[in-house]
Amino acid sequence: MTAVAKSNRLSRHFSTAHQYLQTLASSFRNPNLLAEDLLSKVLDEDPGIKTLEKVHSKVISDQNLCSNPSLAIKLMRAYSACGQPNVTRHIFDEIAELNIVFFNVMIRSYVNNHLYREALLVYQNLHNYNISPDHYTFPCVLKACSGSGNLRVGFQFHAVVVKKGLDSNLYVGNGLVAMYGKCDIIADARKVLDEMPKRDVVSWNSMVAGYARNGRFNDALDVCKIMLSSGFKPDAGTMASLLPAVTNTSSDDVVFVKYMFENYGRECLVSWNVMIAVYVNNSMPAQAVELYSQMQACGIEPDAITLSSLLPACGDLSALLLGRRIHEYVERNRLRPNLLLENALVDMYAKCGCLSDAREVFDGMEIRDVVSWTSMISAYGMSGQGHNAVKLFSELKDSGLNPDSIAFVSILSACSHAGLLDEGRFCFKIMTKEYRIVPRIEHFACMVDLLGRAGKLNEAYSFVLSMPMEPNERIWGALLSACRIHSNMDIGLVAADHLFQLAPEQGGYYVLLSNIYAKAARWEDVTTIRSIMKVRGIKKMPGVSNVEVNNRVYNFLAGDQSHPQSKEIYEELDVLVGKMKEAGYAPETDSALHDLEEEDKGIHLTVHSEKLAIAFAIISTKPLTPIRITKNLRVCGDCHVAAKLISKITGREIMVRDTNRFHHIQNGLCSCGDYW
């Protein structure tokens, strides 16, 4: 503590002591003054219910104190703060001469305890006492309107406010902005804000919250920018207002949120929560995990919102060790049951390929919603366990919950990955006939993928042509991918033609068509595709593989030599390739066509990102330690073969999650059954 602070503190002590001496001296002339002063001070310090009842008893027993309006108001406020609005009302009803202050305290007591109808009834009684509402009354009754969803009465209050000339009052204006925002009348909220002659941080925060409540995250950020440019600094309330609507946004907006966080929010947990959520929702999981590490270093304890926001990032990175630590923290701090958090745990374990852990959390949930079931069904589907997914989907139907649109996407996808053609057709049928769900583009894409993977390409093409909506690139992409698998040139060209019109800059589709041509030995067409890509400046998205080693996530590109241990990684890879060749490995050079490079295909295949990540994990972990790889693209055929051989050679379990599914590889066998 500084010398100035100590001096100020001592001054306050001397001042308080002096006041008490004056009070004691006065008490000899007026004995009631001492009791009144002491009781008033107790009530000012937010007493507990037992202390409050003792004070109340003292006031009732003393006729002079009983008639003191100041003590009555403080008693009302204290009982309200203790969640006892009924006692507040009893005191209110005993007051002989009511004024607007008593009414305001009573209305606020009901509002703060979520008794909105009662608050509005008290307001109506004002007219019986010929008392006019003031600028403290309207913010409370407006909050009662928004809390009860009574917009009709809210409009009436707005008219009264204008009639009384209180619409220019800061507190009333804030109440109107908040009321319209909470009732989802955003245009009126913005109109009130824009017309306010004076604003404070609460005004801006109310507007931010209104936009966020309606999922308009970008508009909420725009208000924050205007707020800053107007000279107001965001606070914890600003960041808290943003949290419910955090979604994917532009890179500039991510930078802006980070600016607010760095300059105005690092002291507050909710600000960290917002920043973590922004990173996760904008596909920046590594940054979210890094921010969480900074948060821990700052000594800020996470809450359930922090952890439920962070767990998806752990899943995206396959950062299982961090995910397990979070799970341990949840159990240690007894944060369960918490539906949002438990759903996030199921999803994290599912994305990390730990089905038994995901199922353990799922089975231990006291309450499940459709999201819980869908996450577990999706987990089985991604791992190729279609029969388990179908069984769980049947249990969902029997649980009393109705599967929603997203649940049907998960089960249809699960059927597709496992080749369960009949089961998938049945699920699509009951979705439309039994549950009356109108199929969306995602459902049609799953059905095209299901039929295409099963080799029913003509049926898949007919299905596309019969769709009630215009097929998008996802539909044609699923069909083109199936054509690559089954070497169907005719339908593949039709699908590719549509894709080049819908997504002319998407390099992956050119690669798929090139592979179809290559399988048919149409090398001139392969060269043509390559030339088109070169002329148009189209490049294939680089493959990136992530692997978690010793609580840190590392990423690798094909041919990557940026890692400090690159020499050891490549030496280990050479040893592995040698052993693989002894076991009969020969590079699948068709897979090299994905890269469309002129260099030697066999050599290039050897340094794909998955292989580098696996080699790094082998040299960095103990023998028999499972290896988890996450890739941003579909794993190529050569890497799939190599991973199976490496698992057999090293005795390691290798899990690879690509954009489509999981590959659980053990002792040379993959869970996909090579159906992928």
Mean pLDDT in residue range 205-228? 89
Specify the DSSP element, H or E, that contains 547: strand 544-549
| Chain mean pLDDT for the chain | 85
Instruction: Give per-residue pLDDT as tens, 106-132.
Output: 999 999 999 999 999 999 999 888 899
Work out whether strand 544-549 and strand 669-670 pair parallel, antiparallel, or are unpaired.
unpaired
- Long-range contacts of the stretch 620-624 (C-beta < 8 A, 24+): 620/549, 620/550, 620/565, 621/549, 621/550, 623/650, 623/651, 624/651, 624/652
Mean pLDDT in residue range 41-68? 69
Question: The pTM is what?
Answer: 0.74
In this structure, are residues 103 and 126 in contact, taking their beta carbons and an 8 Å threshold? yes
What is the DSSP code (8-state) at residue 336? -
Query: Length of the chain in residues, anyone?
Result: 676
In this structure, are residues 346 and 352 in contact, taking their beta carbons and an 8 Å threshold? no
In this structure, are residues 437 and 431 in contact, taking their beta carbons and an 8 Å threshold? yes
Q: Cα–chain-centroid distance for residue 642?
A: 36
- pLDDT confidence of residue 31: 47
- pLDDT confidence of residue 260: 87
Beta bridge partners of 548: 553
Residue with more model confidence, 453 or 636: 453
- pLDDT confidence of residue 556: 92
Tell me if residue 292 falls in helix, strand or coil: helix
> What is the chain's Cα-based Rg?
33
Residue with more model confidence, 333 or 592: 333
pLDDT at 469 over 70: yes
Q: Which backbone phi and psi does 438 adopt, to 5 degrees?
A: -75, 120
- pLDDT confidence of residue 590: 55
Write out the two tokens for 214: 């309606």
pLDDT at 397 over 50: yes
- pLDDT confidence of residue 591: 46
**Cβ-proximal residues to 364 (8 Å cutoff; 6+ apart), any chain:** 336
Angle at 95 between CA 121 and CA 169, to 5 degrees: 55
pLDDT at 660 over 60: yes
In this structure, are residues 417 and 386 in contact, taking their beta carbons and an 8 Å threshold? yes
- pLDDT confidence of residue 268: 85
Which of 325, 290, 324, 288 shows the shortest CA–CA distance to 309? 288
- 90 vs 310: CA distance, rounded Å: 48
Beta bridge partners of 552: 549
- 606 vs 581: CA distance, rounded Å: 12
pLDDT at 420 over 90: yes
- 573 vs 498: CA distance, rounded Å: 41
Write out the two tokens for 4: 């100035």
Instruction: Give per-residue pLDDT as tens, 618-635.
Output: 999 999 999 999 898 888
pLDDT at 91 over 70: yes
Widest Cα–Cα separation across the chain: 112
In this structure, are residues 75 and 106 in contact, taking their beta carbons and an 8 Å threshold? no
Residue in this structure with the two tokens 């059905």, named with its chain if needed: 447
For residue 600, what pLDDT band results from cuts at 50, 70 and 90?
A: very low
Least confident of 168-172, 338-342, 346-350, 670-674: 670-674
- Write out 36-93 in H/E/C secondary structure: HHHHHHHHHCCCCHHHHHHHHHHHHHCHHHHCCHHHHHHHHHHHHHCCCHHHHHHHHH
Share above pLDDT 70 across residues of the chain, in percent, rounded to a whole number: 89
- pLDDT confidence of residue 275: 92
Q: Cα–chain-centroid distance for residue 381?
A: 23
Specify the DSSP element, H or E, that contains 532: helix 523-536
Which of 282, 317, 349, 350 shows the shortest CA–CA distance to 661? 350
Residue with more model confidence, 357 or 167: 357
Share above pLDDT 90 across residues of the chain, in percent, rounded to a whole number: 50
Tell me if residue 29 falls in helix, strand or coil: coil
Which of 84, 135, 128 shows the shortest CA–CA distance to 106? 84
Count of H-run helices and E-run strands, the chain: 36, 6
- 648 vs 572: CA distance, rounded Å: 16
- pLDDT confidence of residue 606: 66
Work out whether strand 654-657 and strand 669-670 pair parallel, antiparallel, or are unpaired.
unpaired
Least confident of 282-291, 381-390, 551-560: 551-560
In this structure, are residues 319 and 313 in contact, taking their beta carbons and an 8 Å threshold? yes
Q: Which letter, b or e, does each residue of 412-449 get, where b requires 16 or more Cβ atoms within 10 Å of its Cβ?
A: bbbbbbbbbbebbeebbeebeeeeebebeebbbbbbbb
Q: Which backbone phi and psi does 165 adopt, to 5 degrees?
A: 75, 20
Which of 450, 412, 417 shows the shortest CA–CA distance to 431? 412
- 451 vs 458: CA distance, rounded Å: 9
- 23 vs 35: CA distance, rounded Å: 10
Instruction: Give per-residue pLDDT as tens, 533-582.
Output: 888 888 777 889 989 888 788 989 888 888 899 999 999 999 999 999 99
pLDDT at 654 over 80: yes
Which of 338, 335, 358 shows the shortest CA–CA distance to 346? 358
Residue type for position 551: N
